Structures are given as C-alpha cells and as structure tokens.
Amino acid sequence: MLLKQPIQHVFVQLSEILDQLSNEEYMQPSKTLLNATIGQHVRHIIELFQCLEKGYDDGIVNYEKRERDYKIENDKELASVLLKEIYKNVEKPNKEIILEAEDYCDAIEVVSIPSNYYRELVYNLEHTIHHMALIRVGVNEVSSVTLPEEFGVAYSTLKYRKECAQ
C-alpha cells in the first residue's frame, strides 16, 4: 500500500522524539500552545487513527465520537506502543466509508459524507503532520531535544523546498 511508508516515516519520527523526551516534558503544559501538552497532541493523533480502525468494519467513522484516553497523554511509553500497533494495522484494503460529522450550523444534526479508507488515511496522515508542527513548538519550549528539519513539515512543502534548491 502506498500510504504505509509515509505513515511509518512520521510515526518513526514521532516515536524517536518521544524516546528523547522525559515523561515530565511530555506532560508539561506549553504556554505557546495555550497550555496544551505534547502528550495531548500525541493522544489526538493516536485516537484519530484508532477511530478509523474501529469504524473500518462497519464502514462508518465519526472522529468526534472518539474515545479520549487520558492515559495516552500522560504516558509516552504507552503512546509509543500504540503508534507501533496502529502502524501494523493500516494495511487494509480500500473500501467505501461514511464519515459522520456534526453539522457546523446545527450541533444536533449529523451529516454523512461519502469517503473511503485510503482517503481517511491521507486525512489522518496530513492531520498528524499538522499536529507534529504543533508538537515542534511544544518541544522547543519545554525541552532541549533537537528535532529533524522535516519534523512537522508537510510533504508538499518539503518537495517544494527541494525543487527550489535545485
């Protein structure tokens, strides 16, 4: 599957950073991130992938109804284990999926949007990179860990920078 390698790449980057942070740094609120923690951003990434995994068989995914497991945001070792588990399970065949979301104008109304598994993997991958950019901000504030230059940078941006450098 084409998406497995880029997902592995960002998960490895994220896991390597988690290995370098202390659990205290992982849980430390960042003023720049409005007192959010690195752990909260990592939990969010994990839970979106878990939600997609959970909804795969039924073909219905609702990210807003995901479980929020606060142990993930307080335990970087658990987060690392879950990232590896998610990676092992993303190699499923593509299939149609209904994405359920609250209507932004009417919080009671649920909207059903046709999608598919691969499209949702792409969404989760891009969303992960976005949160890694925020994690970069948090790491720079609470830790002295040095991040790779491409950590939290979109693939399209990396490609553009490479083309400009030539």
Over residues 141-166, mean pLDDT:
85
pTM comes to 0.92
In this structure, which topology does domain 4-165 adopt according to CATH? Answer: Four Helix Bundle (Hemerythrin (Met), subunit A) (1.20.120)
- pLDDT at residue 158 greater than cutoff 70: no
Question: What is the structure's pLDDT at 102?
Answer: 84
Over residues 143-149, mean pLDDT:
93
Strand partners, 114: 98
Question: What is the structure's pLDDT at 164?
Answer: 85
Q: Which residues of 19-32 are buried (b: 16+ CB within 10 A; e: fewer)?
A: eebeeebbbbbbee
Over residues 144-151, mean pLDDT:
93
